């Protein structure tokens, strides 16, 4: 199977890790192995990479791509949110750096049968980890109208969320919604013609929202960042690439919280919280893709790279 995924901000993110040849690194979102390949190129014989992905197809594809470095790589089919138990499993207690490229991979979008894309008609699935039981089909057919509205509004930042949720619930009263194609048609009917003419595909935000809900992408993020920082060695770095404002906001706020000191109210004469910064921000503002990268890979458009270093 061809697992094609164009790694975004590849050079910048790998360079940001300051790779030591004998270090231990984790790629929390292995995908097709693009970032991992560049990390492995810089590792010596004693260096190790832990390649983590919840999608078993990604693990299989990355194993092929990283074949020449197989002695350096440990593959783990799991969610990066479980980094602490993953390290226990591979009998390691700390890492020198980690990278995460959030969101859905190009391959998952292009592989129509997975149900991630509004461009292909396929069963409503959207699971990154097929061992999970919750699917997009369960959400659109079983959740209440209010729950669906909330998901589409909060995770998709979709202003027509109320109408879309209402149209979904009306439609499913006659027959269950089985495919992405059916869902796209319902969304198109719900979004007024004037709103459909401008901007992105009318189903884009709803599909993003349902995918985030199916995979609990935002729910796990803050805890995962804090757990990665816990297992970083001093001087170790964490590089995270985000693709939409909700993810980026969580990453930015968590980084800021970890890098800030005293949080006592300004009127207190002395600090009583004793909070010390745990990390420093390597770049105050996020790194963005270059014009050249945007020309070569339009999917990089909304990507942002944020990097921290453990103190």
Spacing of C-alpha 185 from chain mean position: 27
Beta partners for residue 305, in sequence order? 241, 287
CATH of the domain at 155: 1.10.150.170
Q: Tell me how many domains the chain contains.
A: 2
Q: Mind listing the pLDDT tens digit for each residue in 138-197?
A: 999 999 999 999 999 999 999 999 999 999 999 999 999 999 999 999 999 999 988 888
Residue 130 lies in a domain: yes
185 with 42, same domain: the answer is no
230 with 246, same domain: the answer is yes
Residue 1 lies in a domain: no
The residue out of 149, 181, 215 marking a domain boundary is 215
Which domain, by its residues, includes 15?
A: 10-103+218-310
21 with 87, same domain: the answer is yes
121 with 204, same domain: the answer is yes
Residue 80 lies in a domain: yes
CB 26 within 8 A of CB 101: no
**pLDDT value for 8:** 85
First to last CA, the chain: 42
| Global pTM value | 0.90
205 with 119, same domain: the answer is yes
The candidate with the shortest Cα–Cα distance to 28, out of 95, 91, 110, is 95
Label residue 2 by pLDDT band (50, 70, 90).
Answer: very low
């Amino acid at each position: 199977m061809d697992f094609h995924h164009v790694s975004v901000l590849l050079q910048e993110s790998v360079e940001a890790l300051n790779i030591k040849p004998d270090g231990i690194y984790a790629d929390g979102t292995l995908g097709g192995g693009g970032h991992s390949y560049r990390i492995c190129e810089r590792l010596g014989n004693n260096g190790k990479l832990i390649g983590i992905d919840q999608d078993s197809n990604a693990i299989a594809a990355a194993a092929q791509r990283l074949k020449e470095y197989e002695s350096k790589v440990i593959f783990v089919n799991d969610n990066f949110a479980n980094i602490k138990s993953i390290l226990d499993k591979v009998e390691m207690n700390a890492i020198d750096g980690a990278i995460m490229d959030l969101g859905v991979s190009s391959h998952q979008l292009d592989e129509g049968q997975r149900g991630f894309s509004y461009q292909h008609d396929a069963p409503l699935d959207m699971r990154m980890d097929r061992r999970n039981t919750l699917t997009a089909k369960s959400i659109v057919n079983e959740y209440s109208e209010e729950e669906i509205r909330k998901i589409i509004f909060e995770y998709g930042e979709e202003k027509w969320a109320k109408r879309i949720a209402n149209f979904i619930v009306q439609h499913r009263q006659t027959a269950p919604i089985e495919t992405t194609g059916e869902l796209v048609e319902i969304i198109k009917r719900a979004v007024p013609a004037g709103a459909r003419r401008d901007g992105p595909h009318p189903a884009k935000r709803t599909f993003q929202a349902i995918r985030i809900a199916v995979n609990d992408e935002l729910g796990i993020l803050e805890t995962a960042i804090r757990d990665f920082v816990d297992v970083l060695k001093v001087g170790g770095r964490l590089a995270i690439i985000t693709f939409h404002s909700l993810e980026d906001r969580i990453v930015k706020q968590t980084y800021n919280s970890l890098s800030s000191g005293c949080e006592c109210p300004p009127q207190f004469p002395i600090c009583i919280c004793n909070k010390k910064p745990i990390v420093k921000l390597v770049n105050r503002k996020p790194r963005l893709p270059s014009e050249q990268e945007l020309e070569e890979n339009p999917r990089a458009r909304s990507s942002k790279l944020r990097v921290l270093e453990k103190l």
